[in-house]
Amino acid sequence: MHARAVGRSLPRREDLPLLTGAGEFLDDLAAADALEAAFLRSPAAHARIAALDLAAARETAGVAAVLAASDLGLPALVSACETPGAYSPPRPLLAEDVVRFVGEPVAVAVASSRYLAEDALELAELDLEPLDSPLYEGRLLHEARLEAGDVDGGFANAAAAVELTFRHERVNAAPIEARGVLARPAGGGVQVWSSTQAPHKLRIALAEVLSLELDDVHVVCPDVGGGFGQKAHSYPEELVVAALALRLGQPVRWIEDRVENLVGASHARGQQLRVRAAADAEGRLLALEVDQTVDQGAYGTYPHGPTLEAHTTSGLIPGPYRLGSYRLHNRARATARAPQGAYRGVGFVVAAWVHERTMDVLARELGIDRAEIRRRNLIARDELPYETLTRQRYDSGDYAGALDLALGAIGYDRFAGEQRAALAEGRLVGLGIACYVEPTGLNSAVFKGRGMVGIEGFDSAHVAIAPDGSVSVWTTTPAIGQGSTTTFAQIVADAVGVEVEVVRVERSDTAVGGLAGTGTFASRSAVAGGGAAIHAGEELRRRLLEDAAEELEASPVDLEIAGDRVRVVGSPTAAVAIADLVERADEERYRVTALWDPPAVAYPYATHACVVEVDAVSGAVEILRYVVVEDCGSPINPVVVEGQIHGATAQGIAEALYEQMVYDEDGQVQSASFMDYLVPTAREIPLFEVRHLETPSPTSAWGLKGVGEGGTVGAPACVANAVCDAVDAELNVLPLTPEAIAAAARARRGRS
334-370 pLDDT per residue, tens = 999 999 999 999 999 999 999 999 999 999 999 999 9
pLDDT of 366 = 98
Region of residue 656 (left: phi > 0; alpha: psi -120 to 50; beta: else): alpha
Query: What is the CATH number for 477?
Result: 3.30.365.10
Q: In this predicted model, what pLDDT tens digit does every residue of 456-501 receive, in sequence order?
A: 999 999 999 999 999 999 999 999 999 999 999 999 999 999 999 9
Average pLDDT of the chain to the nearest whole number:
97
* Angle, vertex CA 726, rays to CA 724 and CA 731, nearest 5: 20
Which backbone phi and psi does 245 adopt, to 5 degrees? -60, -40
Q: Which of 236, 264, 292 corresponds to the end of one domain?
A: 264
Q: Is 677 in the same domain as 634?
A: yes
* 38 pLDDT higher than 60: yes
Is residue 208, in this structure, part of any structural domain at all? yes
Per-residue model confidence (pLDDT) at position 2: 78
pLDDT digits (tens, 9 = 90+) for 635-664: 999 999 999 999 999 999 999 999 999 999
Residues 158-204 pLDDT 10s: 999 999 999 999 999 999 999 999 999 999 999 999 999 999 999 99
Rg (CA), the chain: 27
Together in a domain, 564 and 610: no
Query: What average pLDDT does range 132-158 have in this prediction?
Result: 87
The answer as to whether 279 is a domain residue is: no
Q: How confident is the model at residue 132 (pLDDT cuts 50, 70, 90)?
A: confident
| pLDDT at residue 572, rounded to an integer | 85
pLDDT at site 1: 66
In a domain, 549, yes or no: yes
Q: Is the peptide bond before 130 cis (omega within 30 degrees of 0)?
A: no
- Domain assignment of residue 9, yes or no: no
Sheet holding 217-220, edge to edge: 63-68, 105-111, 35-41, 252-255, 180-186, 189-194, 217-220
CATH of the domain at 180: 3.90.1170.50
CA pair distance 231, 475, nearest whole angstrom: 17
pLDDT on residue 431: 99
The mean pLDDT value for 81-90 works out to: 93
Average pLDDT over residues 240-257: 98
* Amino acid sitting at position 378: L
How far is the CA of 495 from the CAs of 154, 489, 499, 572, 601, in angstroms? 51, 10, 10, 22, 22
Q: Quick check: 303 and 234 in contact, CB under 8 A?
A: yes
Q: What is residue 135's predicted lDDT score, i.e. its pLDDT?
A: 54
Amino acid at 24: E
Check whether residue 569 and residue 524 sit in a common domain. yes
**Of 206, 241, 264, which residue is a domain's last?**
264
Looking at 564, 596, 628, the residue that finishes a domain is: 596
Q: What is the mean pLDDT of residues 517-529?
A: 97
Check whether residue 493 and residue 584 sit in a common domain: yes
Please give the C-alpha separations between residue 552 and each of 430, 565, 575, 584, in angstroms, as whole numbers. Answer: 69, 12, 7, 14
Instruction: Give the tens place of pLDDT for each residue, 372-391.
Output: 999 999 999 999 999 999 99
Asked if residue 372 and residue 491 are part of one domain, the reply reads: no
Do 85 and 210 belong together in one domain? Answer: yes
> Does residue 337 form part of some domain?
no
Confirm whether 632 is domain-assigned: yes
Q: Specify the pLDDT at position 134.
A: 60
User: Residues 147-167: pLDDT tens digits?
Assistant: 999 999 999 999 999 999 999
Is 88 a residue whose pLDDT tops 80? yes
One domain for residues 550 and 677: no
716: domain range?
A: 346-441+601-751
Output phi, psi for 705, to 5 deg: -130, 160
pLDDT at 139 over 90: no
Asked, for residue 556, whether it belongs to a domain, the answer is yes
Going across the sheet that includes 605-614, the strands are 428-437, 605-614, 621-631, 689-693
Same structural domain, 58 and 197 = yes
Residue 750 binned pLDDT confidence (cut-offs 50, 70, 90): confident
- As a whole-number percent, the residues of the chain with pLDDT over 90 amount to 97
Tell me: do 586 and 469 sit in the same domain: yes
- Domain shared by 592 and 613, yes or no: no
> Does 576 share its domain with 649?
no
Stretch 678-699: mean pLDDT: 96
Domain count, the chain: 3
My answer on whether 187 and 255 are in the same domain is yes
In the predicted model, is pLDDT for residue 137 greater than 80?
no
β-sheet bridge partners, residue 629 = 607, 691
Whether 432 and 721 have beta carbons less than 8 Å apart is answered as: yes
322 lies in a domain?
A: no
Instruction: Kindly report whether the global pTM for this prediction surpasses the value 0.95.
Output: yes
Structure confidence at residue 136 (pLDDT): 46
Q: Which value, to the nearest 10 degrees, does the dihedral of the CA atoms of residues 690, 692, 698, 701 take?
A: 70
